[in-house]
Amino acid sequence: MALRVGMLTSGGDCQGLNPAMRGVAKALYEHAEDTQIIGFLNGYEGLMTGHSLKMRESDFSGILTRGGTILGTSRQPFKSMNDPLEEGRLDGPTKLEAMIDTYKTMSLDALVILGGNGTHKTANLLHENGLNVVTLPKTIDNDIWGTKRTFGYQSAIDIATQVIDGIHTTATSHGRVFIIEIMGHKVGWMTLEAGIAGGADVILIPEIPYDPLALLKALNRRDKKNKRFSIIAIAEGAKTKAEAAMSKAEYEEHRKNSRHPSVAYELAETLDAMMVQEVRCTVPGHFQRGGEPCPYDRVLTTRLGVAAANAIINREFGVMMAYINDEIAHVPLAEVAGRLKYVPLDHDLIQVARQTGISFGDEV
């Protein structure tokens, strides 16, 4: 039986989006050659406006190793779902109503959505409003609840680790303290794994607020052991203990008024005032989410994509494809939406890091 399936990628791009769509499409075409796949352009924006393409089977060839997304993407805040589609026009449909109308007008049997946390909140809302939705977990932060790993995560870790590896030589040559800022606003999975893999001496993550004085003590201990340099891996969302004690509004105002572009530069100024050693920053930024997916992510996305196709064929909707215990499982969207997967303070990786001498800047 032929299926008519919509597909979109939403939120920030990352490695693995194209091979994930390829996995879904290939499995659906194998099921029924006359399957029709409609690709919505630029994320939920395309679903709202009907801006789409009738995909051909050939469109999914040659994209296994291609980064980014062939459909384009955009961010659509969940909190604006009930805003008018056209700003200022109160008699028209809301954004949510427009998406539902597009789905029904195009007579879709299912909608495949690839995205992160915000994307999943909207996907769950669409399912609650009667749409047949299946999702795949995409984010380099690995912070989606219900899955051990998200696709894009391993590729980004590989890049962040390469950055740390590369900094080692110049840090050693000049005897400097290098601060490397890794992506991760709210969780520290990526900084933790890349920091351990790259041999960082200090790892600062959002889950463990740090004390600049404790951090200084850790760096001084290295200096007393005649260590010529130090590498600090800091998540972009890392906070000092004083900052962690602030309310959300207070912290946002604090960051807004900071003269520093990011936490790495703010930390650099703090350390520079307390140390003789030179302090330098490296912020690889969006480079971490660019380029081709690593082999691990190509395999993971193919597995997730095929599982999503099978869910559609078996009419199992309102679920996210998740990686659990080396198996692909279904997790209800209602359990995923609005929940973040933080690094547990008793996680094995944190214990391993501490036992190998890595500081988290929280030691007294």
Q: What are the residue numbers of the active site?
A: 141
Q: Is 188 helix (H, G, I), strand (E, B) or coil?
A: coil
User: How many residues does this entry show for the chain?
Assistant: 364
| DSSP-derived secondary structure letter, 176 | -
Compute the half-sphere exposure of residue 127: CA atoms within 13 Å on the CB side of its CA.
24
Yes or no: say if 104 and 4 are a contact pair by the CB < 8 Å rule: no
Beta strands 36-40; 52-55: pairing state: antiparallel
Written as one letter, the residue type at 49 is T
Calculated CA dihedral for residues 109, 113, 117, 118, nearest 10 degrees: -80
Yes or no: say if 135 and 148 are a contact pair by the CB < 8 Å rule: no
39 Cβ neighbours under 8 A, 6+ residues apart? 6, 7, 8, 52, 53, 55, 59, 70, 71
Q: What's the maximum distance between 2 C-alpha atoms anywhere in the chain?
A: 72
For residues 74 and 79, what is the distance between their CA atoms, to the nearest angstrom? 15
61 Cβ neighbours under 8 A, 6+ residues apart? none
For residues 202 and 195, what is the distance between their CA atoms, to the nearest angstrom? 8
Structure tokens at 24: 């879904």
Beta bridge partners of 8: 113
